[in-house]
Chain A
Amino acid sequence: MASVSTDRLPAQRLALVDLLDRVLAGGVVITGEITLSVADVDLVTISLRALLASSGALAGDAGRAGDPYG
């Protein structure tokens, strides 16, 4: 299983994913003349598209949850 870690993203990227989980899906949301409610945007799509575009990976079906082998 030596190959498991060879194509991991850098540690900073891993931390970024954890951070995006929180700053995009957590935090106080208050409406009222706000320029853009991030809550209204499909964040999963945003972050997936952004990350995939950046890492040069092929865009494809990347399910978030559930049995990946089911």
Chain B
Amino acid sequence: MMTVTDSPGIWVYAIVDAGDGLTLPKVAGVAGAEVRTAPLGSVTSAGLTAVVSDADLAEFGEDALRAHLEDLDWLAAVAQEHHGVIEAVAQLGTVLPMRLATVYASEASMRAALTGSEPGLRAAMGRLRSRTEWGVKGYVAQPKDPAGGTVPEDSADAGAGMAYLRRRRDALSAQRESWRGASDGAQAAHAELARHCAASRLHPPQSPQLSGRKEAMVLNGAYLLDNDRAAEFSAAVAALNDSDPRLRLELTGPWPPYSFTAADA
């Protein structure tokens, strides 16, 4: 049984290649912790290096993490701190980001786990070299004319009730048609964008409640691009956006390659 005070946990931000000549930028880690490097494998093998900080297990142990992950303010702060370190490290060379809240109980268990995975980590790093992730989100375009269009005037009370129901029905029908059209457009756009990329991946659409957007999301794509194709990709997004009135596309990035660290990505 480990005591919390004697042995801090280890938060892992990313794996980098020590061959990239590592001088960490000045950046604070999660909860303001000092960020440091921890070489993996044997010292002589010039192996991969983990970017880590100490993490108090009273706050980042399993039970505490479970509770904290439900707290938006905590989650937002920690996600941005984690991301901040990864972005800073990405300036040095190829970076393999770790999933949020990768916390080991000790430096020894961290080394054992990561060193054992070194071949896979190296392979992933090879796929990501000189490449960057971009995101493209697609939404149902808002019609210029409000849904329902023109509706005949009904003067009688009974007629007004019927007209209301008809307007509701027509509006829902129009919304459904808009969504289907935008969805078709999103599929075509994704296929076209994927042609420019080394790899692509679809995240689940963000719900309107999560994103705060009224328009339904129909595309939440991630695209791994060779660095010298970023301008070409951006132009392709703009062209697709202009050519399909059903769909509105938004480009985000560049991102560290979060979406492309898995072997199957």
A residues adjacent to B (C-beta < 8 A)? 1, 4, 7-9, 13-14, 16-36, 38-39, 41, 44, 46-55, 57, 62-65, 67-70
- B211 near A22 with CB under 8 A, answer no
Which one, B65, B105, B255, contacts A33 given CB within 8 A?
B105
- A1 near B142 with CB under 8 A, answer yes
Contact residues of B between 74 and 90, Cβ < 8 Å to A: 75-76, 79-80, 82-83
Q: A4-B142, A24-B99, A26-B258 are in contact. Are A33 and B109 (CB under 8 A)?
A: yes
Q: A53-B72, A64-B205 are in contact. Are A36 and B101 (CB under 8 A)?
A: yes
- B80 near A48 with CB under 8 A, answer no
B residues adjacent to A (C-beta < 8 A)? 9, 15, 57, 60-62, 65-66, 69-73, 75-76, 79-80, 82-83, 96-106, 109, 112-114, 116-117, 121, 124, 133, 135, 137, 142-143, 146, 172, 175-176, 179-180, 183, 203-216, 220, 222, 252, 255, 258-262
A29 → chain B, closest Cβ, in Å?
Answer: 5
A3 → chain B, closest Cβ, in Å?
Answer: 9
With most chain B CB atoms within 10 A of its CB, the pick from A13, A31, A34 is: A34
State A6–B82 Cα separation when bound (angstroms). 31
B78 → chain A, closest Cβ, in Å?
Answer: 9
A17 → chain B, closest Cβ, in Å?
Answer: 5
State A62–B206 Cα separation when bound (angstroms). 10
- B99 near A28 with CB under 8 A, answer yes
State A49–B67 Cα separation when bound (angstroms). 12
- B113 near A33 with CB under 8 A, answer yes
Q: A27-B97, A34-B103 are in contact. Are A51 and B209 (CB under 8 A)?
A: yes
**Taking CB as reference atom, which chain B residue is nearest A69?**
B176
State A9–B210 Cα separation when bound (angstroms). 9
- A30 near B114 with CB under 8 A, answer yes
